[in-house]
Amino acid sequence: MGGNTNNVWLADDVDVDVHDFSHAAHRLLSETSDLPTDPTQVAVRPAELLPSWDEDWLMLAREQLRQLWMHALEASARRLLDAGMIPQAIDQLLVVVAEEPLRESAQALLIEAYLREGNMCEARRQLASFARQLWTVLRVRPSRDLCERVGGELNVERLR
Protein backbone atom coordinates (compact mmCIF):
# COMPACT_ATOMS: atom_id res chain seq x y z
CA MET A 1 0.00 0.00 0.00
CA GLY A 2 2.97 2.31 0.07
CA GLY A 3 2.04 4.06 3.33
CA ASN A 4 -0.65 6.32 1.81
CA THR A 5 -3.38 6.54 4.46
CA ASN A 6 -5.73 8.74 2.38
CA ASN A 7 -7.10 5.90 0.25
CA VAL A 8 -9.80 3.39 1.02
CA TRP A 9 -10.07 0.19 -0.97
CA LEU A 10 -13.07 -2.10 -1.21
CA ALA A 11 -12.90 -5.78 -2.02
CA ASP A 12 -14.08 -6.69 -5.52
CA ASP A 13 -17.09 -8.56 -4.15
CA VAL A 14 -18.49 -5.51 -2.29
CA ASP A 15 -21.63 -4.05 -3.85
CA VAL A 16 -21.79 -0.27 -3.84
CA ASP A 17 -25.36 1.02 -4.06
CA VAL A 18 -24.32 4.22 -5.81
CA HIS A 19 -22.59 2.22 -8.54
CA ASP A 20 -25.62 -0.08 -8.90
CA PHE A 21 -27.93 2.94 -9.15
CA SER A 22 -25.64 4.71 -11.63
CA HIS A 23 -25.45 1.64 -13.89
CA ALA A 24 -29.25 1.21 -13.81
CA ALA A 25 -29.80 4.91 -14.60
CA HIS A 26 -27.36 4.81 -17.50
CA ARG A 27 -29.14 1.74 -18.87
CA LEU A 28 -32.42 3.68 -18.81
CA LEU A 29 -30.75 6.58 -20.59
CA SER A 30 -29.53 4.27 -23.33
CA GLU A 31 -31.80 4.39 -26.34
CA THR A 32 -31.13 0.73 -27.02
CA SER A 33 -32.18 -0.61 -23.63
CA ASP A 34 -35.50 -2.35 -23.14
CA LEU A 35 -38.36 -0.72 -21.31
CA PRO A 36 -38.04 -1.22 -17.58
CA THR A 37 -39.87 -4.37 -16.54
CA ASP A 38 -40.65 -2.82 -13.17
CA PRO A 39 -40.89 0.96 -13.59
CA THR A 40 -41.53 1.42 -9.87
CA GLN A 41 -37.91 0.46 -9.17
CA VAL A 42 -36.76 3.44 -11.21
CA ALA A 43 -39.04 5.80 -9.34
CA VAL A 44 -37.26 5.14 -6.04
CA ARG A 45 -35.01 8.07 -5.25
CA PRO A 46 -31.44 7.01 -4.60
CA ALA A 47 -30.32 7.22 -1.01
CA GLU A 48 -28.27 10.29 -0.18
CA LEU A 49 -24.60 9.77 -0.81
CA LEU A 50 -22.72 9.58 2.51
CA PRO A 51 -25.50 11.32 4.46
CA SER A 52 -23.56 11.88 7.67
CA TRP A 53 -20.63 13.54 5.88
CA ASP A 54 -20.43 17.29 5.50
CA GLU A 55 -17.75 17.69 2.82
CA ASP A 56 -17.97 20.38 0.13
CA TRP A 57 -17.19 17.95 -2.71
CA LEU A 58 -20.23 15.86 -1.75
CA MET A 59 -22.67 18.62 -2.69
CA LEU A 60 -21.72 18.28 -6.37
CA ALA A 61 -21.65 14.47 -6.26
CA ARG A 62 -25.09 14.38 -4.61
CA GLU A 63 -26.53 16.79 -7.18
CA GLN A 64 -25.04 14.75 -10.02
CA LEU A 65 -26.81 11.64 -8.72
CA ARG A 66 -30.09 13.54 -8.31
CA GLN A 67 -29.86 14.90 -11.85
CA LEU A 68 -28.96 11.46 -13.22
CA TRP A 69 -32.03 10.03 -11.48
CA MET A 70 -34.34 12.69 -12.92
CA HIS A 71 -32.88 12.33 -16.44
CA ALA A 72 -33.29 8.55 -16.22
CA LEU A 73 -36.91 8.89 -15.11
CA GLU A 74 -37.65 11.32 -17.94
CA ALA A 75 -35.97 9.09 -20.53
CA SER A 76 -37.82 6.06 -19.25
CA ALA A 77 -41.12 7.96 -19.25
CA ARG A 78 -40.54 9.13 -22.84
CA ARG A 79 -39.98 5.54 -23.96
CA LEU A 80 -43.03 4.37 -22.03
CA LEU A 81 -45.07 7.08 -23.77
CA ASP A 82 -43.75 6.03 -27.15
CA ALA A 83 -44.75 2.44 -26.34
CA GLY A 84 -48.29 3.55 -25.46
CA MET A 85 -47.82 2.88 -21.74
CA ILE A 86 -49.24 6.25 -20.75
CA PRO A 87 -50.29 5.55 -17.12
CA GLN A 88 -46.82 4.19 -16.31
CA ALA A 89 -45.18 7.21 -17.94
CA ILE A 90 -47.42 9.57 -15.96
CA ASP A 91 -46.52 7.81 -12.71
CA GLN A 92 -42.81 8.29 -13.38
CA LEU A 93 -43.23 11.91 -14.41
CA LEU A 94 -45.23 12.72 -11.30
CA VAL A 95 -42.24 11.53 -9.27
CA VAL A 96 -39.92 13.93 -11.13
CA VAL A 97 -42.38 16.83 -10.84
CA ALA A 98 -42.73 16.19 -7.11
CA GLU A 99 -38.94 16.25 -6.71
CA GLU A 100 -38.42 19.32 -8.88
CA PRO A 101 -41.68 21.21 -9.56
CA LEU A 102 -39.98 23.88 -11.69
CA ARG A 103 -38.35 21.38 -14.09
CA GLU A 104 -39.98 22.37 -17.37
CA SER A 105 -38.75 19.32 -19.28
CA ALA A 106 -40.64 17.00 -16.90
CA GLN A 107 -43.69 19.26 -16.83
CA ALA A 108 -43.77 19.37 -20.64
CA LEU A 109 -43.52 15.59 -20.89
CA LEU A 110 -46.26 15.15 -18.28
CA ILE A 111 -48.52 17.53 -20.20
CA GLU A 112 -47.72 15.62 -23.40
CA ALA A 113 -48.72 12.38 -21.66
CA TYR A 114 -52.07 13.86 -20.63
CA LEU A 115 -52.63 15.07 -24.18
CA ARG A 116 -51.77 11.65 -25.64
CA GLU A 117 -54.38 10.02 -23.45
CA GLY A 118 -56.88 12.61 -24.68
CA ASN A 119 -57.13 14.37 -21.35
CA MET A 120 -57.00 18.08 -22.21
CA CYS A 121 -58.44 19.02 -18.81
CA GLU A 122 -55.53 17.39 -16.95
CA ALA A 123 -53.04 18.92 -19.38
CA ARG A 124 -54.43 22.42 -18.82
CA ARG A 125 -54.63 21.90 -15.05
CA GLN A 126 -50.98 20.77 -14.97
CA LEU A 127 -49.89 23.74 -17.05
CA ALA A 128 -51.83 26.16 -14.84
CA SER A 129 -50.30 24.66 -11.70
CA PHE A 130 -46.80 24.83 -13.20
CA ALA A 131 -47.37 28.41 -14.38
CA ARG A 132 -48.49 29.49 -10.90
CA GLN A 133 -45.41 27.91 -9.30
CA LEU A 134 -43.05 29.45 -11.86
CA TRP A 135 -44.61 32.87 -11.40
CA THR A 136 -44.62 32.65 -7.59
CA VAL A 137 -41.02 31.49 -7.29
CA LEU A 138 -39.24 33.07 -10.26
CA ARG A 139 -41.67 35.62 -11.72
CA VAL A 140 -41.38 33.96 -15.14
CA ARG A 141 -43.89 32.30 -17.40
CA PRO A 142 -43.72 28.85 -18.97
CA SER A 143 -42.27 28.75 -22.46
CA ARG A 144 -44.53 29.78 -25.33
CA ASP A 145 -44.09 26.32 -26.87
CA LEU A 146 -45.44 24.64 -23.75
CA CYS A 147 -48.42 26.98 -23.55
CA GLU A 148 -49.24 26.47 -27.22
CA ARG A 149 -49.45 22.71 -26.70
CA VAL A 150 -52.59 23.19 -24.65
CA GLY A 151 -54.16 26.00 -26.56
CA GLY A 152 -52.38 29.27 -26.14
CA GLU A 153 -50.85 31.76 -23.75
CA LEU A 154 -51.80 31.76 -20.08
CA ASN A 155 -52.44 34.91 -18.15
CA VAL A 156 -50.32 34.02 -15.13
CA GLU A 157 -51.47 36.96 -13.04
CA ARG A 158 -55.06 35.71 -13.37
CA LEU A 159 -54.06 32.26 -12.04
CA ARG A 160 -53.12 33.49 -8.58
Residue, of 15 and 150, whose pLDDT is higher:
150
CA distance 73 to 95: 8
**pLDDT tens track for 6-48:** 676 777 776 656 666 666 666 776 766 666 655 555 555 566 6
Determine the pLDDT at residue 5.
65
**pLDDT tens track for 60-84:** 888 888 898 899 999 989 999 999 9
Q: Do 150 and 118 form a contact (C-beta atoms < 8 A)?
A: no
- pLDDT of 156 over the 50 cut: no
pLDDT average, residue stretch 122-145: 94
Q: Map out the domains of the chain with their CATH numbers.
A: 17-26+53-159 (1.25.40.10)
Q: Do 95 and 73 form a contact (C-beta atoms < 8 A)?
A: yes
The predicted model scores a pTM of 0.76
